[in-house]
Amino acid sequence: MSSLAEVAPGAQPDAKAVNKFDPHRNGGVDLQPGIAAPSHAEYARTLVEQSGRATLSTIARDPSGYPFGSLVTYAPDDTGAPWMLISSMAEHTQNALVDMRASIMIAEQAVGDVDPLSLGRVSLIGVLVCDDPTTAMCDSFVERHPGAKVYLDFSDFSWWRLEVVVVRYVGGFGRMSWVDLGDYSNARPDPIAPSAVDICAHMNADHAEAQLALLKHFNARPDLIRAVMTSVDRFGCEFTSETPNGSLALRLAFPKPVNSSGEVRQTLISMLREAQL
């Protein structure tokens, strides 16, 4: 048996089945001790890297002192600080010119009809600084937001960076923490994230029986009726499953971390072979 990890509220991992490899956690509160999963710093960094669309909260000029939420697009730099290209005519820019305190909230995009509160989100709190991006930063922004090419040279648009002071991560119900800023800045986005949605869709559409067999075997749940893969990272996959007694969130841990979607595939195939022996 490889490893067992139930993430249902109150569930405890089977001690004998806990992963032995070092998950390289680098901070954050871990509500599933001993289970290999990205740290909250890594989850936060991955989410910031994967998105590009956020809510910017500034302090309004009018009505004075009220927090004001608005939509922005951004691209993160190497430290995970988001950069924005915004118009001086926009409310948030005018607000920032008076009070630089701000935060950026990035939420995981829902695929299908899931409760948004069960998904990840990160709030980066800091100060907005009008700054010149490097050429690489500018290119990275335009690559993410090709529409920005149109207003890149407009005289009323300028570059702003959120200098992050505090990081709050919420991974869903009951999984949350204040993330150490150094851990956040040093964390690397999960290498599987860019293909995670496709992997989940492919597994759920074409390999529903196989993933059910994996969970029955490695998570010791022969009672499972159905399992839907909801996420995958370099340490494993998560599922929403059905049992005769209701639904259950499960985490299937890989025997060792993977670095590409190809390695996810190879790992799942070899785990399936082991499960069917």
Q: What are phi and psi of 264, to 5 degrees?
A: -60, -45
- Cβ atoms of 75 and 144 within 8 Å: the answer is yes
Contact with a copy of itself (CB under 8 A) among 2, 39, 73, 241: 73
Q: Which of 1, 12, 21, 65 is close enough to bind a copy of itself by CB under 8 A?
A: 65
How many residues form the binding site for a copy of itself (CB under 8 A)? 37
Query: Is residue 240 a contact point for a copy of itself (CB under 8 A)?
Result: no
Near a copy of itself by CB under 8 A: residue from 21, 69, 143, 198: 69
Q: Are 36 and 43 in contact (CB under 8 A)?
A: no
Which of 15, 22, 33, 115 is in the footprint of a copy of itself by CB under 8 A?
A: 115
Cβ proximity of 257 and 235 under 8 Å? yes
Q: Is 125 in the site for a copy of itself (CB under 8 A)?
A: yes
Name the one range near a copy of itself by CB under 8 A: 10-18, 49-57, 197-205, 229-237. 49-57
Q: Applying CB under 8 A, which part among 35-43, 163-171, 194-202, 267-275 lies near a copy of itself?
A: 163-171
Radius of gyration of the chain (CA): 21
The reply to whether 262 sits near a copy of itself by the rule CB under 8 A is no
131-150 positions binding a copy of itself, by CB under 8 A? 145, 147
Q: Which of residues 85-114 bind a copy of itself (CB under 8 A)?
A: 91, 101-105, 107
Select the span of 20-28, 60-68, 203-211, 258-266 touching a copy of itself (CB under 8 A). 60-68
CB-nearer residue toward a copy of itself: 14 or 91: 91
**Does the protein bind a copy of itself through residue 66 (CB under 8 A)?**
yes
Q: Which member of 70, 140, 195, 243 binds a copy of itself (CB under 8 A)?
A: 70
- 168 is a site residue for a copy of itself (CB under 8 A): yes
- For the chain, the three-class secondary structure string (H helix, E strand, C coil) is CCCCEECCCCCCCCHHHCCCCCCCCCCCCCCCCCCCCCCHHHHHHHHHHHCCEEEEEEECCCCCCCEEEEEEECEECCCCCEEEEEECCCHHHHHHHHCCEEEEEEECCCCCCCCHHHCCEEEEEEEEEECCCCHHHHHHHHHHCHHHHHCCCCCCEEEEEEEEEEEEEEEECCEEEEECHHHHHHCCCCCCHHHHHHHHHHHHHHCHHHHHHHHHHHCCCCCCCEEEEEEEECCEEEEEEEECCEEEEEEEECCCCCCCHHHHHHHHHHHHHHHHC
* Least distance from a copy of itself to the Cβ atom of residue 164, Å: 11
Q: Which is nearer to a copy of itself, 133 or 178 (CB)?
A: 178
Q: Which of 145/265 has CB closer to a copy of itself?
A: 145
- Please provide residue 263's backbone torsions phi and psi, each rounded to the nearest 5 degrees: -70, -30
CB of 242 to a copy of itself, least distance (A): 16
Q: Which residues bind a copy of itself (CB under 8 A)?
A: 53, 55-60, 63, 65-71, 73, 91, 101-105, 107, 115-118, 121, 123, 125-126, 145, 147, 165-166, 168, 170
